[in-house]
Amino acid sequence: MIETIATPKTSTGKSLRTEEMIVNMGPQHPSTHGVLRLEVVLDGEIVVDVIPHLGYLHRCFEKHCEHMTSYQQVIPYVDRMDYVAAMTNEFAFVVAAEKMLKIEVPERVHYIRIIMAELQRIASHLIAIGTFGIDMGAFTPFLYYFRDREKILELFEMTCGARLLYNYMWIGGLSHDIPPQFVEKTKEFCTDFKKTLKEVNDLLNYNEIFIKRTANVGILPKDLAVNYACSGPMLRGSGVNFDLRRDDPYTLYNKFEWDVIVGKGEMGTVGDVWDRNIVRQREMWESLRIIEQAIAGIPEGDVQKAIPKRIRPVPGDAYGRIEGPRGELGFYIVAEDNVTPYRIKARAPAFVNLSVINEISKGAMLADLVAIIGSIDIVLGEVDR
Amino acid sequence: MTAQDIHDILKLQFTDAVIEAKLENVVDPFIKVRTDMIKEIAVFVKNDERLQFDYLMCLSGVDYKGKLGVTYHLYSMVHHHKIVLKVEVPTETPDVPSVESVWKSANWHEREAFDLYGFNFAGHPDQRRILLPDDWEGHPLRKDYQTPEFYNGMKVPY
């Protein structure tokens, strides 16, 4: 609801004329989390309309895929879509490709993929909450969280040699097996990380200024979230108890015990910015639970046994999706009888989640718009592909 | 509900809308429907109590050389079943009714399909380019696309 601001009047009764302004939150802006341009129509300080303009990071990923010489060659490209959580992109692509090619991977590969995916989920949420804190004015959680993200990136570097863009999960298996010290270091990380999680939780989430800036802001109702196909913490923050890892299983998550975090409107209304943030915060605890259970029972095996030497699929198509840190990441692969992929469409969660921004920011103030963008958790590499 | 049941319900409701259906021995069972009836079918599959497909997972354009197609991946949060609907149009007149009023997530997906393939979604409230600049010419993901030589004075292939 837009509150009517009384038009100022001078003492002789003459009133000032007010108009709406168009303000450009341009592609270069510290709070838009990348190159996103928002055309904001303002009535004073209140947002009347938000028109996002995308495409500043469009890298023609889908067209490149049609000129590859193999399906495995697509994996480094897929890494670079969501450059913050690269393991997730690879996981989604290999799930879709293995579904289409009907490849069964050994159990060891499943366990290692789950561990990598959950470590990547934690790393991505650390960036999401850290940068969200910076947008709200809290600089300390960002630095504390990046110290722990460094430890996760060291674990990845130990395994596949790369810190940020891995080319690790291949169709049918993995590129390298985990080194002998991986299990030890991961257990160490899990123990140390719990202290940081508790520390930052007490520091940030229950701080009165943070609550005042985020509760009852950007409320996303349940039906709107489902109609706009929101997924991930945006959907669960609005009270919908849906998680692809449990409800549309794609690997062996059902062997582990963990809970799905749903927003309950503790500090404001269900579906506000505070709820989405606390869903991400608490999901990290659940990811730690999964990692500890998985690390304790990795079966033996050969991770490269099921990797096909040459991929020449039967013509057809398949859609495979996984639960990424931002939401449902899916790949629609259309194959013909050729080594080159015919069409690969990437369904990016940030792209779909961002489309709801017009509806939920009507009536908010400009500073709240910054909070809302931060809570959607976009990565422009994924939005623009 | 299996894909066969969904197909039977659709065939019962819309007598001649189903053109082709591949439900066995495929990874993702799909139903190809008549293009001009896709809007009515969308309203029906969303509201019918046995189907309740309220979540549009993905809407993608495909270029089958000679024809363009749109693929709709639907999921039901209530019944937890999935189905794929496909439509096909000739490349010269790619007119498809828009399903944006049924699932709001189709808004940006259809804009992307218009941008990259050149579909004309009838009834879309805001059909303009989303990923490419507004003054770009051509629709890149078509199989017969030639990269333009110059764009605003800059040489494109370098």
Per-residue pLDDT reduced to its tens digit, A246-277: 888 888 888 898 999 998 888 888 989 999 99
A382 touches chain B (CB under 8 A): no
Q: Is B26 on the interface with A (CB under 8 A)?
A: yes
More confidently predicted of B1 and A103: A103
Q: How confident is the model at residue A1 (pLDDT cuts 50, 70, 90)?
A: very low
Phi, psi of A369 (to 5 degrees): -60, -35
Query: Looking at the predicted structure, is the pLDDT value of residue A326 above 60?
Result: yes
Q: Where are the domains of chain A?
A: 59-367
Cα–Cα dist A155/A170, whole Å: 19
What pLDDT, on a 0 to 100 scale, did the predictor assign at position A291?
93
Minimal Cβ distance to A229: which of B57, B129, B131? B57
* pLDDT surpasses 80 at B158: no
Per residue in A66-100, pLDDT tens? 888 888 999 999 999 989 999 999 999 999 999 99
User: Does the beta-carbon distance from B141 to A328 stay under 8 Å?
Assistant: no
- CB-nearest to B141 from A63, A318, A330 is A63
pLDDT > 90? residue B13: no
pLDDT of A195 > 50? The answer is yes
Neighbours of A336 (CB within 10 A): 15
Rounded to an integer, what distance in angstroms lies between the CA atom of residue B129 and that of residue B123? 16
**What token pair was written down for A64?**
């490149």
Optimal mutation site among B55, B107, B146, B151, interface A, most CBs of chain A within 10 A: B55
Q: Do A319 and B104 touch (CB under 8 A)?
A: no
Yes or no: say if A296 and A318 are a contact pair by the CB < 8 Å rule.
no
Q: What is the mean pLDDT of residues A217-241?
A: 91
CATH class of A59-367: mainly alpha
CATH tag, B3-155: 3.30.460.80
Furthest C-alpha separation in chain B: 57
Task: Show me where the domains of chain B are located.
Answer: 3-155
Q: Which of A81-90, A279-288, B142-151 has the lowest mean pLDDT?
A: B142-151
Gap between the Cα atoms of A29 and A41, Å rounded: 17
Spatial distance between the Cα atoms of A248 and A237, rounded to a whole number of angstroms: 19
Kindly report the average pLDDT of chain A as a whole number: 89
Specify the DSSP element, H or E, that contains B45: helix B38-47
Distance of residue A199 Cα from the nearest chain B Cα, in angstroms: 37
Residue A7 has pLDDT above 70, yes or no: no
- CA gap B84, B6 in Å, rounded: 11
The nearest alpha carbon in chain B to A385 belongs to B131
Q: Which residue of B has its CA nearest to A67?
A: B143
How far apart are the C-alpha atoms of A175 and B58, rounded to whole Å? 30
Name the one residue in this structure whose structure tokens are 């692969």.
A333
> B11: pLDDT confidence band, cut at 50, 70 and 90?
confident
Do A63 and B140 lie within an 8 Å CB cutoff?
yes
What span, in angstroms and rounded, lies between the C-alpha atoms of A285 and A252? 19
Q: Which element (helix H / strand E) includes A111? A: helix A107-136
Count the residues in chain B. Answer: 158
Q: Residue A321: enclosing H or E segment and its boundaries? A: strand A316-323
Q: What is the mean pLDDT of residues A278-296?
A: 92
- What pLDDT is stored for residue A273 in this prediction? 92
Determine what percent of chain A is predicted with pLDDT higher than 70.
98
Give me the residue label for tokens 């692809």. Answer: A244
Distances (CA, A) of A215 to A221, A237, A367: 14, 12, 13
The answer to whether A73 touches A167, Cβ cutoff 8 Å, is no
Dihedrals φ, ψ of A36, to 5°? -120, 130
Number of Cβ atoms within 10 Å of the Cβ of A259: 12
